[in-house]
Amino acid sequence: MNKVGKVSFFRSIHFKFTVIYILLIIIAMQIIGVYFVGKLESSLRENFEDSVNQRVKLLSYSIEQEIVKDRKEEDPTLEEDINAVLSDVATGDDKLEVRVIDTDSRVRGISDPNKFDMIGKRTPDGMIKRSLLLGQVEETVMIDNGERIQKSSTPIFRSPQNQDIIGAIYVEASMEEIFSQMRVINGILASGTAISLGITGILGILLARTITRPLSDMRRQAIELAKGNFSRKVRVYGHDEIGQLAHTFNHLTDELEEAHSQTEDERKKLSSVIAHMTNGVIATDRNGHVILINDPALQKLNVSRETALQMPITHLLAIEDEFSFNHLIKEQDSLILDISTQDRPYILRVNFSVIQKKKDRVEGLIAVIHDITEQELIDEERREFVANVSHELRTPLTTMRSYLEALAEGAWKDEQIAPQFLNVTQTETERMIRLVNDLLQLSKLDSKDYRFNRDWINFTAFFNRIIDRFEMTKEQHITFNRLLPDESLYVEIDTDKITQVLDNIISNALKYSPEGGEITFRVEIQDKYLVISVRDQGVGIPKDSVDKIFDRFYRVDKARSRKLGGTGLGLAIAKEMINAHDGDIWAKSTDGMGTTIFFTLPYEEDQEDDWT
């Protein structure tokens, strides 16, 4: 997941909301200002024009009276009367200049005393001429030395009934007072707008905080949720839509916590099951790369977790030359992996299961690894055991059938041959009986319910008695050498079973000892065991066969063993009996120089005092 950093102020909703709010206020103020200023300017200009027109009308009436008045010689001149009328205009506060023009376009009067020199002169102004000619009011606005001036020319009629033009009134009125007022008003409006914007900005920030503060709190909550912290809650600031959103967010947090807790529990259960499985488990992604592997799988495949993760499963199982990942997805049967070494056999069975989230879409593969080495060895031993038993039974049965057929065909009448044939048949029958008895003995030893009848006995005396029995019945000229301790050594054993063990070992020593040889019997105490050994001076056992002589039906020299009547089960039975006594049995031999059979029995010197 990408790390979410802190949002800068200029990228935040807080800033954007405030800017938008201020822009809206600016636009509103501008619209209001433009409308207000436009209307105010229009109103001021209309008032100004009305005021000027009213004064022009009064002047027009007064001047018309002066022009049409009958004058006497002693009366003032027309110019003096007109200037007297215009003097009232000159004394006013308004910046107003009035000129009276006759029909010849000559100036008859002027309100500005500084321009009396213009009286009597013609004016070239075309606006005045048009007004005198057309009898219409002419108006215009111009800028003179940066000052706005309204100029107008109004015709003077003789009377309302008589529309003869007798002159014109030319007026120049300064409009700077209007625009000065407008500048003051615009300044006031700008100041008001600035103050409004300042107040609006503060209010916008405060208002934006009421919206962005809950959102920022929810953002922090989302970050904490991503970290797995479900204890934090969003503060509810109100009962509006944002408050409802905060309530919903807190409810979502509770639901996520519950779902996460359930998922975590299920994950822990699954992890615990996978971790404690004796079978190896491997999971892959959709591309066949390992994403999960438990400890038993690592041990079985002899790899480290760092090496196995993200490795293709075909490479991990060393089957990339035979199978691709797509083949494994379609594989219905289990695969047998033989990774045996020279030191030990090791056989694995791998079963595959496809992970599918959607129909026809493979999300990965689950491989379960079983160690079937022991099962395969057992199956191999079983097959070998059946083959050996079949062979051991077939040989005497075949011999017996041959001799019985010969007897049936008339050999029984021959007094010399018949007894020999019957003797061979009897020998083979006894051999089969011994074989069956040994098999029954092994079957009992394999049974978990088989019990031993143990007693505390003096092993030194017990061993001497067995040696004495063989020494009295031996036929070869073989010397018995006893290296036994003089003191009593008490052990808890089943005397019948240990007798059978010693009988098998000593019988083998006698069978394979040469004429005039020596058999050495020894008992030693090592740690908490008695170590019993029987050594002969026979032909010995090849090195590669020493560890196999305790296997069932194994013979080093099969021809000689059968000739001597052996079944190949004596040492196997001895091994089972010694193991049942919590001891061990093994052999040491040099080919051509004899063999020594060792076995141990538990011995506790402290308990010996109870029996002496």
> Which of 450, 598, 444 is CA-nearest to residue 521?
598
Residue 75 forms part of a structural domain: yes
Please, is 282 exposed, middle or buried when counting C-beta atoms within 10 Å of its C-beta (0-12, 13-18, 19+)?
A: buried
The CATH number of the domain holding residue 97 is: 3.30.450.20
Which strands form 595-602's sheet, in the order they lie side by side?
479-483, 518-526, 529-535, 595-602, 585-589
Residue 264 forms part of a structural domain: no
**In this structure, are residues 44 and 182 in contact, taking their beta carbons and an 8 Å threshold?**
yes
User: In this predicted structure, what is the pLDDT of residue 6?
Assistant: 61
User: In this predicted structure, what is the pLDDT of residue 562?
Assistant: 46
| 31 and 162 both lie in a single domain | yes
Residue 324 forms part of a structural domain: yes
**In this structure, are residues 222 and 234 in contact, taking their beta carbons and an 8 Å threshold?**
no
| 423 and 360 both lie in a single domain | no
Q: Half-sphere exposure of 611 toward its Cβ, with a 13 Å CA cutoff?
A: 16
Structural domain ending residue among the three candidates 120, 154, 183: 183
Structural domain ending residue among the three candidates 135, 163, 183: 183
The CATH number of the domain holding residue 535 is: 3.30.565.10
Residue 206 forms part of a structural domain: no
User: In this predicted structure, what is the pLDDT of residue 529?
Assistant: 92
User: In this predicted structure, what is the pLDDT of residue 89?
Assistant: 62
User: In this predicted structure, what is the pLDDT of residue 97?
Assistant: 81
| 426 and 480 both lie in a single domain | no
| 169 and 68 both lie in a single domain | yes
Which amino acid is present at 7? V
Residue 203 forms part of a structural domain: no
Q: Where are the alpha helices (DSSP H) in 236-311?
A: 241-276, 295-301, 305-308
| 422 and 345 both lie in a single domain | no
Which residues 6+ apart lie within 8 Å of 588 measured at CB?
A: 546, 595, 596, 598
Structural domain ending residue among the three candidates 183, 213, 237: 183
| 388 and 537 both lie in a single domain | no
The rounded average pLDDT for each run of 10 residues, N- to C-terminus, in the chain (612 residues) is 57 72 80 82 81 79 75 71 71 69 82 78 81 80 76 80 79 79 82 82 76 77 78 78 81 84 80 78 88 86 87 87 84 79 82 76 85 79 71 74 82 80 80 72 64 86 90 79 91 88 88 88 92 90 81 60 56 85 90 89 72 52
Residue 240 forms part of a structural domain: no
Which residues 6+ apart lie within 8 Å of 540 measured at CB?
A: 589, 590, 591, 592, 593, 594, 595
User: In this predicted structure, what is the pLDDT of residue 559?
Assistant: 43
How many domains would you assign to the chain? 4
| 411 and 347 both lie in a single domain | no
Taking only the tens place, the pLDDT of each residue in 535-546 is 998 888 888 778
User: In this predicted structure, what is the pLDDT of residue 92?
Assistant: 53
What is the Cα–Cα distance from 300 to 291, expressed in whole angstroms? 17
DSSP class of residue 412?
Answer: G
Which residues 6+ apart lie within 8 Å of 61 measured at CB?
A: none
What is the Cα–Cα distance from 159 to 164, expressed in whole angstroms? 8
User: In this predicted structure, what is the pLDDT of residue 1?
Assistant: 44
Residue 433 forms part of a structural domain: yes
User: In this predicted structure, what is the pLDDT of residue 358?
Assistant: 63
| 145 and 42 both lie in a single domain | yes
CB neighbours (10 Å) of residue 335?
17
| 413 and 513 both lie in a single domain | no
What is the Cα–Cα distance from 414 to 602, expressed in whole angstroms? 59
Domain that holds residue 140: 15-183
What is the Cα–Cα distance from 476 to 538, expressed in whole angstroms? 13
> Which of 136, 134, 106, 103 is CA-nearest to residue 120?
106
Q: For the whole model, what pTM was predicted?
A: 0.42
Residue 434 forms part of a structural domain: yes
Which residues 6+ apart lie within 8 Å of 472 measured at CB?
A: none
Q: Half-sphere exposure of 341 toward its Cβ, with a 13 Å CA cutoff?
A: 4
| 347 and 389 both lie in a single domain | no
The CATH number of the domain holding residue 382 is: 1.10.287.130
| 281 and 403 both lie in a single domain | no
| 366 and 380 both lie in a single domain | no
What is the Cα–Cα distance from 141 to 174, expressed in whole angstroms? 10
